[in-house]
């Protein structure tokens, strides 16, 4: 996983609540068996016309959006399906951080495991960010993970929460499976005390 330390970037704003993972990447693109190349399908049904041409007024189609690393979205981002293709598509497009007032649980977990930082801000900051992005689409923000701070163009700093474990994993690019694999002796000890509660070996009916 690519470490996340500090980014300074312009912002793409999508002021819509409850953006579900079917919008982030529609299900018809989940027939892939790879993680690669999903950025082209990001927000596919919002971003392209039925003939495949881009809709020029959709925010990620606008000039400068390709360089943006930060996506600013409405409340409860990433609700719905558990598809990890959603963060894979966001990252493949170029995003490294998403700012919202809240994230759906599974999306948040999936994002953190891929080096995509969910930044939760309060309602006032959220509104202010949308106003800034609307007034000036080239608005640049800085996100400093070590400091857990979001720095606005006017110098204002806003702190955001993140748990110690995920913060460390992101800062150092640590893969969480490595941590789990190191617990092997404890997992063995648990299994010795708790026999399997079911066996899925195929039985004849």
Partner 1 sequence: MTSTPCTLFDKIWDDHVVVEEPDSPAVLYIDLHLIHEVTSPQAFDGLRRRGLRVRRPHQTVATIDHSIPTTPPEVPIADPQAARQIQQIVENCREFGIPLYGVGSPTRGIVHVIGPELGLTQPGMTIVCGDSHTSTHGAFGALAFGIGTSEVEHVLATQCLLQRKPRTCQVYVDGYLNKGVTAKDLILGLIAQIGSGGGTGYVFEYAGPAIRALSMEERMTVCNMSIEAGARAGMIAPDDTTFEYLAGRLYAPKGEAWDAALKRWRALPSDPDARFDHTITLDARRLEPMITYGTNPAMAIPVTGVVPDPAGVSDLGERQAMEKALRYMGLRPGQRLLGHPIDVVFIGSCTNGRLSDLRQAASVLKGRRVKEGVRVLVVPGSQSVKRAAEAEGLHRIFLEAGAEWRESGCSMCIAMNGDQLQPGQYAVSTSNRNFEGRQGPGGRTLLASPLTAAAAAITGVVTDPRTLLE
Residue span 63-102 as binding mask against partner 1, x where in contact by CB under 8 A, dash where not: -----------xxx--xxxxxx--x--------------x
Q: What is the DSSP string of 2-51?
A: ----EEEEEEEEE--S--BHHHHS-GGGGG-SSSTTGGGGTTHHHHB-TT
192 near partner 1, rule: CB under 8 A: no
181 near partner 1, rule: CB under 8 A: yes
Burial 170-190 (b: 16+ CB within 10 A, else e): beeeeeeeeeeeeeeeeeeee
119 near partner 1, rule: CB under 8 A: no
For residues 36 and 197, give the distance between their C-alpha atoms in angstroms, rounded to a whole number. Answer: 37
Q: How far is the CB of 145 from partner 1 (least distance, A)?
A: 16
Binding part of the chain for partner 1, among 56-64, 105-113, 142-150, 151-159 by CB under 8 A, reads 105-113
200 burial type by CB count under 10 A (0-12 exposed, 13-18 middle, 19+ buried): exposed
Task: State the residues that interact with partner 1 by CB under 8 A.
Answer: 15-18, 20, 22-23, 26-28, 30-35, 45, 50, 74-76, 79-84, 87, 102-106, 109-110, 113-114, 127, 130, 163-165, 176-177, 179-181, 183-184, 186-187, 190-191, 194, 196-203, 205
């Amino acid at each position: 996983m690519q470490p996340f330390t500090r980014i300074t970037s312009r912002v793409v704003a999508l002021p819509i609540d409850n953006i579900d993972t079917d919008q982030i990447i529609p299900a018809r693109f989940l027939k892939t068996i790879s993680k690669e190349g999903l950025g082209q399908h990001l927000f596919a049904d919002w971003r392209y016309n039925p003939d495949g041409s881009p809709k020029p007024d959709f925010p990620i189609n606008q000039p400068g959006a390709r360089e943006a690393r930060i996506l600013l979205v409405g409340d409860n981002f990433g609700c719905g399906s558990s598809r990890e293709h959603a963060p894979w598509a966001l990252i493949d497009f170029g995003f490294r951080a998403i700012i919202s007032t809240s994230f759906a649980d599974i999306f948040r977990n999936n994002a953190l495991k891929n080096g995509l930082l969910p930044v939760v801000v309060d309602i006032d900051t959220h509104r202010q960010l949308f106003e800034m992005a609307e007034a000036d689409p080239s608005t640049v923000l800085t996100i400093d993970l070590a400091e857990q701070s979001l720095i606005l163009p006017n110098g204002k700093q806003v702190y955001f929460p993140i748990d110690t474990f995920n913060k460390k994993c992101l800062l150092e690019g640590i893969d969480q499976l490595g941590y789990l694999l190191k617990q092997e002796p404890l997992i063995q000890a648990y299994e010795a005390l708790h026999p399997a509660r079911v066996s899925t070996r195929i039985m004849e009916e």
